[in-house]
Amino acid sequence: MTPTSKSATGTEPGIRRLPVTEDRELFARFPLALALHGNDGTVRVNDHYSACFEPADFETGTLRQLLETPGRGWRTVSLRSRSGDTAEIHAQSTNLAAGTLIMLADDIAAARDPELDHLRRRISELEKASATDHLTGAWNRAHLNRVLESELSRSLRFRQPLSALLIDVDHFKQINDRSGHQTGDAVLCEVVELIQRKIRSADLLFRWGGEEFVVLAVSTRYRDAHILAEHLRELIAGHLFPHGAPVTASIGVAEHNIREDVQSWFSRLDAALFVAKNGGRNRVVTDPRGNSDSWAVDPAPVMSLVWRDSNGSGHAQIDAEHRHLIALANTLNTAESAPPAVFDAAVSTLLQALRGHFAAEEQLLETNRHPQLDEHRRIHTGLLRKADELREAGGSLAAGEARRPLIEFLVNEAVARHMFSKDREHLLHGPAT
């Protein structure tokens, strides 16, 4: 049960196949020229692109630059038209899970036409659909394969533990056999809803296949992941499902170890689940190994966050605030041993900047009528609530290790991970400003 590049139905295409006829028509008939460059190098263009421009060459020139610098808003570029002339046009590139989408417009007014908003939102919705399980709404296995590399890279760079939970619904075949497949589907959907309520906004839930699910618990040691798993097990076992019969789950837990690849890590995860199921089910088994133990006895220099142009959202104000937040986060990251008054001031300054930044983002998304405004607002509220809880728990009082939970959460979750994932995901998919 190790991650691979193949989906459960065969190979995972480099460019997502638009799922139904009307979705393919949306891409084909979109009133701006579109080119979708897949992660495997394959290219799909729409009718408007084919009618106006020469076949796409992404290896050199303008299109290569757009691929290398997505998310920087509308830019004026030169591109060869079907007539053979070089035309000055407006272009925007956006990172999607399946690749990079390039949008071309003859003039900036057309690019910002409010009547195109619902079409842009639909493309965003289709992209999200390509990464989610159609039944439960959890992220799918293909998306797990895509995000594992970035999550592991972040974990190792900032020496933040990364744990995984493998959750298996016990005796699921019996539920299908006794109550029918519709009931089984309803059970899976409800299990996902229960898990989503309990995990943090920073954690990621995937449907691995069948009745198995994976939770990636970021910045979480295996000991804390075990506690989370027990909470989830108890939540599922104590829940009253619509069909009236009890439902339980077995859970394996493993934290990544720097000496292993993803396949070895998930083999340990699978082995832990095997022990849980063969030990009577409705239990949690955790592999007691992980980076957190070795990092605890071998502290490393603090890593600073670094702003790169590729991190840009394409909105000048938001990007300026992001750079300011990075500077404040780096200041806090080096204040573990500072006097209490200095440390508390650094925390207060960062929290104040975060609140102002979150408010500005929400206003921007509301102005652009972004479909994920409510989700972004919920994430902001959760981050600020967690920061306040850690601060009230004493994280700003004692110098040294006692401050690390608060520092790590503010720096790695509230700033780095939220900024470089959720902000880019939501802001880049909204109308340009």
pLDDT tens track for 4-17 = 433 333 323 222 33
pLDDT band at 114 (very low <50, low <70, confident <90, very high): low
**What pLDDT score was predicted for residue 411?**
87
Beta bridge partners of residue 11, listed in sequence order: 6
Q: Closest Cα partner for 286 from 213, 199, 228, 210?
A: 228
What number is the average pLDDT over the span 81-100?
Answer: 77
Exposure pattern of 367-402 as b/e (b: 16+ CB <10 Å)? ebebbbbeebbebbeebeebbeebbeeebbeeeeee
β-pair type (212-218, 86-96) = unpaired
Higher pLDDT: 225 or 68? It is 225
Mean pLDDT of the chain: 79
Which domains occur in the chain, in start order? 6-130 (3.30.450), 141-297 (3.30.70.270), 315-427 (1.20.120.50)
pLDDT in tens, 299-346: 555 567 777 665 666 677 888 888 899 889 888 887 877 888 888 889
pLDDT in tens, 363-388: 888 887 777 788 888 889 988 988 88
What number is the average pLDDT over the span 102-119?
Answer: 66
pLDDT in tens, 275-301: 999 999 999 999 999 998 888 776 555
Residues catalogued as catalytic: 211
3-state secondary structure (DSSP) of residue 17: coil
Query: In one letter, which amino acid is 148?
Result: L
How many angstroms separate the Cα of 160 from the Cα of each of 153, 164, 197, 380? 10, 13, 24, 21
**What pLDDT score was predicted for residue 91?**
84
**What pLDDT score was predicted for residue 158?**
74
Residue 233 DSSP one-character state: H
Asked if residue 93 lies in contact with residue 35, where contact means CB atoms within 8 angstroms, the answer is no
pTM, to two decimals: 0.57
Higher pLDDT: 231 or 119? It is 231
Tell me: pLDDT of 242 over 50: yes
**What pLDDT score was predicted for residue 211?**
96
Asked if residue 428 lies in contact with residue 71, where contact means CB atoms within 8 angstroms, the answer is yes
Tell me: pLDDT of 133 over 60: yes
